[in-house]
Amino acid sequence: MPNDNNPNYKIINNQQYFFKIRLWNTDGDEMIMNPEGVLQLVIEDDLHFWVTKGFLVYENPFEILERKMAPDDTGNDGTQSRAMKKSSHYNFRNDGRDFLDVTIRPILEDSTTNEPEANTLPITDLDPELWELKYTFVVYDKEDLEVQNITQKVKKLYFWDSQYQEMLDKKIQWSSATSDRNAAKRADTNYDPSLATDAEREMFTGDVVRDILETNGFEVDDERFDIGSSSVFYTSFHDQNIWESIDYNLDDHMSKSSGGVTDTVDISLFKKDRYTNKFELEPLHKIFEKAGSVSDHPKEYQIEHFFFDETVGLGTPSVNKAPMLDSASTTTDVKMTKIKKYQYVDMSSIDSTNRLVTMPVHAYDNKNKTFSINIEESNIEYIQSLISKVYIENKLLSNNGSHPLLSLNKDKTENQTISPVGAHGANKRSIYSAGLGQLLYNSIFLNNCIVINADGATIRRTGRFIGLDRLSFSDSKFDYKLCGQWLTTKVSHNFFHNMYTNEVTGVKMHSYDTLNVDDTVA
């Protein structure tokens, strides 16, 4: 059994957790928060923006965190706050160098060790790569909350990923013409960037992002970092920081062709793994490949299975709309809680009629002084077919073929409803990004949406799938949309006193079975 008296343990939702929050800086100031003095901790994981962020609210009576309370700094005058384990005061630098280490993991009753500071989890059943929340944040802002008197004072710290702060702080001088990853430079020992052609100065967009990261000390995941489908000659602007340079190149990045029947470019997601701390640039179809399309075989990215907590519904349970393991697991298709509270909405009609229509891409070639219009890859009928091939077929569980949730009508198919856009340049990279890439993004992330409120579990994260099913009859058009596999796009971990909840947001762009929507209506 874990040591119940160890201050790094905390009972949350009747479950014991290792719960350690350490505030420190390079000046030697350090404060380890007492879990009982932490009133609220919120950690937000968002698929659309890789930076994990949140806030911390802690007890701070008499400003004890920063105030020296006794000449010998022992704090033995009875005013020590529950919010800290040691009595030495903390001096904030306020320059983006106040770090907050957060480590939270569930502790099982059959723990084999009482040592909370061990490098490995003191348990045998839960994989730390899946179940441990471990971050290094930077405090970017503070707030002194209003209270009735000084004995009740509390402070709120706002934080985000420490590596994001580093990217914001540092300006860089970088060029694809001089990078060690430049193909022409690697092939020719006499390569001179000042004499090279623009084509020789180019690099694939993924390689540009990767080299900017690696040359500035950040790690990337070799297996999950796409090189891109087109190249660019890029030199950072004089006032650009690391993140601005990366973000600039991500804007037009389209993935390397997948090959085979789905030989097409794809949008990619830039994110950072919370366990390895390595950056990833993963094409979306590769994420869907790890969901599972066989009824009894969910793959590694379907991490959890929910069932609705309900007493209505007649008849025997219908076939599940998401793959489900028959046996218990702590790594895949985990079953922990039923859904008691959720919000669900279909795709907005405004989005469907304005942002899910054919997008003719206008481009101007400055060199040849010519205009062009590309409509083939950004045609909405082509997009509907592409979604089926790239994201649904043999990737997600469905019945009688694949059924993308993308309604068409005559105005859309006859190009009476269109949304012309302009590309940054006349190259394929810019044209694909402005049309094809934007339509793929809209088709997925503006589609069906659900927000689930549930008791907390540290395994939950974005970029993974959850299965939703009923224990009662579910063979209806509504349940074909609602039940099934959802891609998680936002997960909030909310620790409030001795309670822990998650708010999980997911999107779904396919139906389990056909909805018989007539695509020929006027």
- The string of pLDDT tens digits covering residues 358-380 is 999 999 988 888 999 999 899 99
Q: Are 266 and 408 members of one domain?
A: no
With a cut of 80, say whether residue 172 has pLDDT above it.
yes
Which of the listed residues 414, 435, 456 is the one where a domain comes to its end? 435
- The string of pLDDT tens digits covering residues 471-520 is 999 999 999 999 999 999 999 999 999 999 999 999 999 999 999 999 88
For residues 371 and 112, which has the higher predicted lDDT (pLDDT)?
371
Q: Identify the band that residue 42 occupies on the pLDDT scale cut at 50, 70 and 90.
A: very high
With a cut of 60, say whether residue 74 has pLDDT above it.
no
Q: Are 458 and 315 members of one domain?
A: yes
Helix (H) or strand (E) holding 477: helix 477-482
Q: Does residue 452 lie within any of the structural domains?
A: yes
Give the pLDDT confidence score for residue 114 in this predicted structure.
45
Helix (H) or strand (E) holding 214: helix 205-215
Going by their DSSP bridges, the two strands 268-272 and 133-144 should be labelled as: unpaired
Q: Determine the Cα–Cα distance for residues 74 and 68; give it in Å rounded to an integer.
A: 9
Which of the listed residues 263, 285, 307 is the one where a domain comes to its end? 285
The range of the structural domain enclosing residue 245 comes to: 183-285
Torsion of CA 46, 48, 51, 55, to 10 degrees: -40
Q: Determine the Cα–Cα distance for residues 298 and 275; give it in Å rounded to an integer.
A: 22
Q: What's the number of domains the chain is made of?
A: 4
Give the pLDDT confidence score for residue 311 in this predicted structure.
74
Q: Are 205 and 220 members of one domain?
A: yes
Q: Does residue 3 lie within any of the structural domains?
A: no
For the domain that residue 128 is a member of, what is the CATH number? 2.40.10.10
Q: Does residue 170 lie within any of the structural domains?
A: no
Q: Does residue 175 lie within any of the structural domains?
A: no
Q: Are 156 and 224 members of one domain?
A: no
> Chain-wide mean pLDDT for the chain?
90
Q: Does residue 127 lie within any of the structural domains?
A: yes
Going by their DSSP bridges, the two strands 341-345 and 448-455 should be labelled as: antiparallel
Q: How far is CA 420 from CA 70, 416, 432, 433, in A?
A: 69, 12, 13, 13
Q: Are 333 and 386 members of one domain?
A: no
Q: Which two tokens stand for residue 136?
A: 């290094």
Q: Residue type for 305, please?
A: H
Give the pLDDT confidence score for residue 87 in this predicted structure.
47
Q: Determine the Cα–Cα distance for residues 319 and 60; give it in Å rounded to an integer.
A: 54
Q: Identify the band that residue 256 occupies on the pLDDT scale cut at 50, 70 and 90.
A: confident
Q: Determine the Cα–Cα distance for residues 171 and 189; give it in Å rounded to an integer.
A: 29
Q: Are 263 and 299 members of one domain?
A: no
- The string of pLDDT tens digits covering residues 413-457 is 999 999 999 998 888 888 989 999 999 999 999 999 999 999 999
Q: Are 24 and 80 members of one domain?
A: yes
Q: Are 275 and 317 members of one domain?
A: no
Q: Please state, for a pLDDT cut of 90, what percent of the chain lies above it.
A: 77
With a cut of 80, say whether residue 115 has pLDDT above it.
no
Q: Does residue 401 lie within any of the structural domains?
A: yes
Q: Which two tokens stand for residue 116?
A: 């909370």
Q: Are 338 and 468 members of one domain?
A: yes
Q: Which two tokens stand for residue 273?
A: 């793994």
For the domain that residue 336 is a member of, what is the CATH number? 2.40.30.150
Q: Are 332 and 280 members of one domain?
A: no
3-state helix, strand, coil in the chain (%, to 5): 20, 30, 50
Q: Does residue 178 lie within any of the structural domains?
A: no
Q: Which two tokens stand for residue 281?
A: 């640039």
Q: Identify the band that residue 1 occupies on the pLDDT scale cut at 50, 70 and 90.
A: very low
Helix (H) or strand (E) holding 489: strand 484-496
Give the pLDDT confidence score for residue 82 in this predicted structure.
57
Q: Are 142 and 236 members of one domain?
A: no
Which of the listed residues 435, 457, 489 is the one where a domain comes to its end? 435
Give the pLDDT confidence score for residue 522 in this predicted structure.
84
Q: Does residue 172 lie within any of the structural domains?
A: no
Q: Are 259 and 403 members of one domain?
A: no
